[in-house]
Amino acid sequence: MRKEKENSSDNPYQYSLKQNLEDAGCSDEMVQQFMELRDKGEEEKQLLLLSGHRKSLLDRLHREEKKIDCLDYLVYRLQKKQ
């Protein structure tokens, strides 16, 4: 089938879609899975895949925010001593 062997430069939309997924932090495997689901017309599964990745990113963000809060508290305590 042509879609599977299609060069992304032949299809600007496909290229921008892949680039957007990569910019969103999707792994190569996830990009490939998303594109396969797109080729099959399985939009619900695409949405589930994106939703799962979004949740993962938010979880990571919240963990990092907690670390920043800990640092801010330490800075506050040190400044309060001065």
Q: How many domains does the chain divide into? A: 1
Phi/psi of residue 14, nearest 5 degrees: -65, -40
Residue 26 domain boundaries: 2-81
User: Which pLDDT score is estimated for 10?
Assistant: 65
Residue 18 has pLDDT above 60, yes or no: yes
What is the crossing angle of helices 43-81 and 28-40, to 10°?
Answer: 150
Is residue 77 very low, low, confident or very high in pLDDT (cuts 50, 70, 90)? very high
The pLDDT tens digits of the residues spanning 38-72 come to 999 999 999 999 999 999 999 999 999 999 999 99
